[in-house]
Amino acid sequence: MSNVITDALCPFCGCMCDDITVVVENNKIIEAKHACKIGAAKIMGHHRIKAPMMRKDKNADFKEVSYDEAINEAARMLANSKRPLMYGWASVLCEVHKKGILLAEELGAIIDNTATVCHGPSTLAVHEKGLPTSTLGQIKNRADVVVFWGSNPVHAHPRHMGRYSVFAKGFFSEKGRRGRKIIVVDVRKTETAGMADEYIQVQQGSDYLVISALRAILAGQAAVVPDTVGGVPKEQLVKLVDTLKAARFGAIFFGMGLTQSMSRYKNIDNAISLTTELNSFGKHVIMPMRGHYNVTGFGQVCAWETGYATAVDFARGAPYYNPGETAANDVLTRKETDAAMIIAGDAGAHFPANSVRHLAKIPVVQIDPYWNPTTEVANVVIPVAICGVEVEGTAYRMDGVSLRYRKMIEPTHPTDLEILEKITKRVIEIRGE
């Protein structure tokens, strides 16, 4: 039986494209129209981990076990831990986040999400300066100057430019690309830079200096700016300030080029200040290019449940937050973590070797649909249904707009929600025994 689902949401990146047409035959997705290469790969899926698996020795082969056995062992490992870490959460829905936070509280665990290796520093900068921002719809309808700073949407958010920021035509931007000036600031000439009207090449690690120079020029202090700043000629900086000042509606999108380079959150802090100051001239907004579709959602749920967006430590019985001390890589580097649950994120692939080395030494529970480097260092692996494809629920787009995912097909595995509920129940039983 064939079924066509229109206006489906893509569960890959922070764009959360909501115009996907999915063709389903016999509970199998055979086509994902309009999706980009990355989104289509995610929606179409491929061979999954079939059954839960366990092993004591991490060098031994896994043995398939029942869900009850795996859940029991996962609960035992976490309940016996003094300093557990619960990491991941990017590719699950908000309903799962809520359950995860409850389990973290029960365990006295640290709960951290993938923002820790992505836009975690952006959150710190927002604490300092606030965030003059908007929805993507505002940008689509109004922006006439768009800056991508340390961000390469052609690769990381393939439909962003078409749907929201560059080519999109809106109410007051009916000319689309022709009505917009596109500026790319990066350390190498990316494909996005190749499409821009102006490319500004910054010496790696010099973004803070360049933003500071732009702020000085904007404040009328161009005389104090040296001839070259961070590899950028002063004339190019003056020209950029002129372009930004002349904008009716400017939007700055920033990526890992700012959050992962030298100065980390201070780069974003400075860029937010620049945006605020530009609002003396026209309307200007700034937005992080969030990676996984619901990484933003975790920040929302965690903030309303605990008061903090991520890297929350429940060891004291009440939420405590201090990235640099309580983020996943902080505790792994200090070798504090003595058991970890990795769910909907892949620490094995995306953490520095130093952190993975510690994960390889401690009990690890993995909850994920797919075999990945985290599986290689896991003791208990619990395969689950894919949120946003086989499970319905809520997620937050990169601009903080919440959207509801529908189920495209029936799941062949239990959901993250069911697994977390059972682990939590078992943890409470073990602690009571």
Partner 1 sequence: MTLKVTLITGRTINQGATIENKTSSDYQEATAYCELNSKEAGSLGKPGSHVRVKTPHGDVVVKLKENNGNPDGIAFIPMGPWANAVVDPDTKGCGMPGFKGIPAEIEATGDRILLMKELIARYK
Q: How many residues bind partner 1 (CB under 8 A)?
A: 71
Helices (H), 32-135: 37-44, 67-79, 94-107, 120-129
Shorter beta-carbon distance to partner 1: residue 201 or 228: 201
> Which helix (H) or strand (E) covers residue 177, if one does?
none
Burial track 94-114 (b if 16+ CB lie within 10 A, e otherwise): bbbbebbbebbbbbebbbbbb
333 binds partner 1 (CB under 8 A): yes
Shorter beta-carbon distance to partner 1: residue 67 or 370: 370
Among 84, 250, 345, 348, binds partner 1 (CB under 8 A): 348
Q: Dihedral of CA 234/228/148/183: which sign?
A: positive
Among 113, 114, 116, 273, binds partner 1 (CB under 8 A): 116
From the CB of 273, what's the least distance to partner 1, in Å?
A: 18
Shorter beta-carbon distance to partner 1: residue 250 or 288: 288
Applying CB under 8 A, the span of 80-88, 186-194, 220-228, 241-249 interacting with partner 1 comes to: 186-194
Could you say which residues in the range 291-330 bind partner 1, by CB under 8 A?
291, 311, 323-324, 326-330
**DSSP structural state of residue 52:** -
Among 21, 80, 138, 204, binds partner 1 (CB under 8 A): 204
Could you say which residues in the range 391-430 bind partner 1, by CB under 8 A?
none
From the CB of 282, what's the least distance to partner 1, in Å?
A: 31
What track of x and - describes contact with partner 1 for positions 69 through 108 (by CB under 8 A)?
A: ----------------------------------------
From the CB of 120, what's the least distance to partner 1, in Å?
A: 5
3-state secondary structure of 2: strand
Shorter beta-carbon distance to partner 1: residue 179 or 324: 324
Phi-psi region of 220 (alpha: psi -120 to 50; beta: other; left: phi over 0): left
How far is residue 140's CA from residue 401's CA, in Å, rounded to a whole number?
14
Residue 337 tokens, joined: 């973590």
Could you say which residues in the range 117-156 bind partner 1, by CB under 8 A?
117, 120-121, 124, 152, 154-156
Among 2, 353, 410, 433, binds partner 1 (CB under 8 A): 353
12 binds partner 1 (CB under 8 A): yes
Burial track 294-305 (b if 16+ CB lie within 10 A, e otherwise): bbbbbbbbbeeb
From the CB of 151, what's the least distance to partner 1, in Å?
A: 10
Shorter beta-carbon distance to partner 1: residue 187 or 216: 187
What track of x and - describes contact with partner 1 for positions 375 through 394 (by CB under 8 A)?
A: -xx-----------------
Which phi and psi angles does 417 have, rounded to 5°? -60, -50
From the CB of 200, what's the least distance to partner 1, in Å?
A: 13
From the CB of 7, what's the least distance to partner 1, in Å?
A: 23
Among 373, 400, 411, 414, binds partner 1 (CB under 8 A): 373
What track of x and - describes contact with partner 1 for positions 37 through 76 (by CB under 8 A)?
A: xx-xxx--xx-----------xx-----------------
Q: Which of 72, 51, 80 is nearest to 63 (CA)?
A: 51
Shorter beta-carbon distance to partner 1: residue 12 or 89: 12
Which phi and psi angles does 74 have, rounded to 5°? -60, -45
From the CB of 343, what's the least distance to partner 1, in Å?
A: 15
Residue 64 tokens, joined: 């398939």
4 binds partner 1 (CB under 8 A): no
179 binds partner 1 (CB under 8 A): no
Among 201, 212, 236, 394, binds partner 1 (CB under 8 A): 201
For tokens 């129209």, the residue is: 33
Which phi and psi angles does 148 have, rounded to 5°? -110, 115
How far is residue 49's CA from residue 53's CA, in Å, rounded to a whole number?
9
Q: How would you class 137 by CB atoms within 10 Å of its CB: exposed for 0-12, middle for 13-18, buried for 19 or more?
A: middle
Q: How would you class 134 by CB atoms within 10 Å of its CB: exposed for 0-12, middle for 13-18, buried for 19 or more?
A: buried
Question: 10 Å Cβ neighbour count for 349?
Answer: 11
| DSSP β-ladder status, 393-396 and 402-405 | antiparallel
Could you say which residues in the range 243-272 bind partner 1, by CB under 8 A?
256-257, 259-262, 264-265
Q: Which of 252, 250, 271 is nearest to 261 (CA)?
A: 271
Among 179, 205, 233, 307, binds partner 1 (CB under 8 A): 205
Applying CB under 8 A, the span of 61-69, 212-220, 364-372, 402-410 interacting with partner 1 comes to: 364-372
